[in-house]
Amino acid sequence: MIFGLEFPPIQNLVEWPNWFGPEGSWYGFNKIAFINVIALVATTSLFFIAGRSKSLVPKGAKNLVESAVDFIRDGIVLETMGPEGIKYLPYLVSLFFFILITNIFEVIPFFHMPGNARMAGPAVLALLTWAYYIAVGIKHQGPKYFINAIAPAGVPKALLPLVIPIEFLSTFIVRPFSLAVRLFANMLAGHILLVTFSVLCITLFTASLLAIVLPLSFAMLVGLTGFEIMVAFLQAYIFTILAAVYIGSSMHAEH
Amino acid sequence: MLALVRVLAEAAATDVQQATETAAKNPILPTINEMFWAAVVFLLLWALMKFVLLPPITKLMAARADTVRGDLQAAEAAEAQRVSRLSDYEAGLAGARSEAIGIIEQARSEGDAERRVQITAADAEVATLRADAAAEIAAAKVRARAELTSSITDIAVGAAEAVVQKPIDRASQTALVEDYVSRSGSQN
Amino acid sequence: MSILAQAAAATADKATQQAIAGATNAGMAYGLAAIGPGIGIGYLVGQSVQAMARQPEAAGMVRTTMFLGIAFTEALALIGFVVFILLKFV
């Protein structure tokens, strides 16, 4: 309570009651789950519409989907993994679209909640990516993958006691943790930022004298909404490109 | 004393309850139901993407890339054909031009030769004609001189005979007259 | 009765104090966590812009690497933000 500004408790901002299923049960379906399902349906229908038309000239949804796939293939896969990474394209495209659409609900009216401002989504995606790049490493290098990963070739023997724990931590612990936390914290921060300015606008609207600064606050809110759209896109891109880098680094022993 | 203990116990219980409540309401930790739905939805999306959604898109993009490449190659081939056709045409043009030049040259040289031959023939004819005329002139001149000499000799001899009243040696007088004629001829 | 009231007042006081301490620590933690990544990202983006200006044909590669570097650098600030949330609201 500062100058009549009543900030809601954070639980009210990010936690949503179940629509069905008892609270705390493993299948309780709430707003976040609904956003995830919308992401699935939206991506599926976009790709379905795009894949249905057989004309070689893209337009509408097809144009959007094709430019996105082209962007992921040329800008992410080929840049970080090279041509042999093309077979991981489906995973990366799914990641990109899922994260982008769940993020973009941050600014969609009547939702105003990024699906990834809850730790669950990012944690699941990061764990899946973690399992995926370990699986790719084992597939490409066999059990030697773990040795190659924690003890890079060319490191002097004397440094190994120092290098092995650091590499183990950074490869198998910090990577998934930072992947999840990066996405989650960015979206949560953006969400709290938008909520802060919305609350400020509402408070100023009812304030008598301070209402003269309302336009500034509102302009800030509008600007931040645009900024958050950019952040939603950027976080999807960064998550995808980091997944690509991790998968690519598992394909060959580091040197 | 008992009351105090009870109060403390209650307070502790409330604290523990609050602590557990806040732990359950921790905004950072993932909740199991959201993780479940996220995992289900994402795995479904991945499977769909891998087997249903992405293949037609990539196939179509590859087809378009092939079409574009084919069109480019066709355009390049057409361009090469055009260039070769142009060079053929230019080569033909150059051949025709050189042929025309050759024909003109040949005609010119033939005409030159013809003209030279004709000029030579005409020159020769003129020269013979001139030589004939000169010979004729010379003959006429000789004849005229001989006639003149004999007539002058006759006149001179007649005049001298008339003066001296006796025949004069014609032969010696002829030499004199000839000398005179030739001298007068040279004076003219 | 008075003991009960005192105990309640004491717990309330304790909770308020804890909340104030938590908020202060949270602010400090996030402020400190933002310093290093702020400098780091500024330096990183500046160098990337310089590289792109020097070699515009390598701009795509530089941009990709720049985003990767930003992602790694930013992680520290975001962990600071998470610590802020933990200290402030938990």
Domains defined along chain C, listed by start: 2-89 (1.20.20.10)
Q: Which residues contact B73 (CB under 8 A, 6 or more apart)?
A: none
Closest partner CB to C89 (pick from A10, A184, A245): A10
Contact across the interface for C85 and B3, Cβ inside 8 Å: no
Who has greater pLDDT, A56 or C26? C26
pLDDT in the model for residue A203: 85
List chain A residues with CB under 8 Å of C61: 79
Q: Provide the chain A residues 4-23 that lie in CB contact (below 8 A) with chain C.
A: 9-11
pLDDT > 90? residue A228 = yes
As a dihedral over the C-alpha atoms of residue C52, residue C53, residue C54, residue C55, rounded to 10 degrees, the angle is 50
Partner-chain residue, chosen from A14, A36, A93, that has the shortest CB–CB distance to B38: A36
Which member of B7, B11, B28 has the closest CB to residue C82?
B28
Rounded to an integer, the average pLDDT of A112-124 is: 92
Q: Tell me which chain A residue has its CA closest to the CA of residue C83.
A: A185
User: What residues of chain C lie within 8 A of the CB of B23, using their CB?
Assistant: 90
This complex has an ipTM of: 0.91
Contact C64 A75 (CB under 8 A): yes
Output the pLDDT for position B162: 78
Side chain identity, residue A23: E
- CA angle C43–C48–C51, rounded 5-degree value: 130
| Least confident piece of the model among A1-10, A161-170, A229-238, B105-114 | A1-10
Interface of B with A in 10-69 (CB under 8 A): 24-25, 27-39, 41-46, 48-50, 53-54, 56-58, 60-61, 63-64, 67
Q: Which chains touch B (3 or more CB pairs under 8 A)?
A: A, C
Say which of A29, A94, A188 has its CB closest to residue B45: A94
Residues B110/B111/B116/B120 CA torsion (nearest 10 deg): 110
pLDDT digits (tens, 9 = 90+) for B13-28: 555 455 444 444 677 8
The model's confidence at residue B89, banded by pLDDT at 50, 70 and 90, is very high
Token pair in block for residue A94: 């799914």
**pLDDT at residue B25, as a whole number:** 63
Cβ atoms of A203 and A214 closer than 8 Å: no
- pLDDT given for residue A244 in this prediction: 94
**pLDDT > 80? residue B12:** no
Residue A179 touches partner B, C-beta closer than 8 Å: no
Cα B139 to Cα A148: distance, rounded to the nearest angstrom:
133
Q: Which residues of C touch A (CB under 8 A)?
A: 60-61, 64, 67-68, 70-72, 74-75, 78-79, 81-82, 85, 88-89
Give the pLDDT mean for B77-87: 93
Answer yes or no: do C85 and B27 touch at CB < 8 A.
yes
Tokens at residue A159, please?
A: 């440094």
Touching C: A residues 86-145, CB under 8 Å: none
Shortest Cα distance from C66 to chain B (angstroms)? Answer: 28
Which of B22, B29, B36, B57 is most worth mutating to test chain A (most A CB atoms within 10 A of its CB)? B57
- Inter-chain CB pairs, A–C, below 8 Å: 46
**From the CA of B62, how many Å to the nearest CA of chain A?**
10
Amino acid A137: pLDDT: 93
Residue A183 has pLDDT above 70, yes or no: yes
d(CA B62, CA B60): 5
B139: enclosing H helix or E strand: helix B54-164
Whether the pLDDT of residue B165 is over 90: the answer is no
Q: Which comes out higher in pLDDT, residue B64 or C48?
A: C48
Element at B166 (helix H, strand E): none
Over residues C72-78, mean pLDDT = 88
- Does A236 reach chain C within 8 Å, measured CB to CB? no
pLDDT class of B94 with cuts at 50, 70, 90: very high
**Inter-chain CB proximity B28 and C90 less than 8 Å:** yes
Does B34 contact A30 at a Cβ distance shorter than 8 Å? Answer: yes
Nearest-neighbour CA in chain C from B26: distance (Å): 6
Measured distance CA(A128)–CA(A105) in Å, rounded: 23
Grade residue A59 by pLDDT with cuts at 50, 70 and 90: confident
- SS3 string, chain A, reads CECCECCCCHHHHHCCCCCECCCCCCCCECHHHHHHHHHHHHHHHHHHHHHHCCCCCCCCHHHHHHHHHHHHHHHHHHHHCCHHHHHHHHHHHHHHHHHHHHHHCCCCCCCCCCHHHCCHHHHHHHHHHHHHHHHHHHHHHCCHHHHHHHCCCCCCHHHHHHHHHHHHHHHHHHHHHHHHHHHHHHHHHHHHHHHHHHHHHHHHHHCCCHHHHHHHHHHHHHHHHHHHHHHHHHHHHHHHHHHHHHHHHHHCCCC
Residue B28 sits at φ, ψ, to 5 deg, of -90, -45
Asked if A35 contacts A102 with a C-beta cutoff of 8 angstroms, the reply is yes
Q: Residue range C6-18: average pLDDT? A: 75
CB A88 within 8 A of CB A145: no
CA–CA gap between residue B162 and residue B58 (Å, rounded)? 150
For residue C41, what are the contacts with CB-CB under 8 A and spacing of at least 6? C70, C73, C74
Q: What is the mean pLDDT of residues A230-237?
A: 94
* Residues of chain A with C-beta less than 8 angstroms from the C-beta of C64: 75-76, 79-80, 241
| Inter-chain touch C79–A241, beta carbons under 8 Å | no
Which has the minimum average pLDDT: A154-168, A232-246, B172-186?
B172-186
The answer to whether the Cβ–Cβ distance between C75 and A238 falls below 8 Å is no
Chains touching A by CB (3 or more pairs below 8 Å): B, C
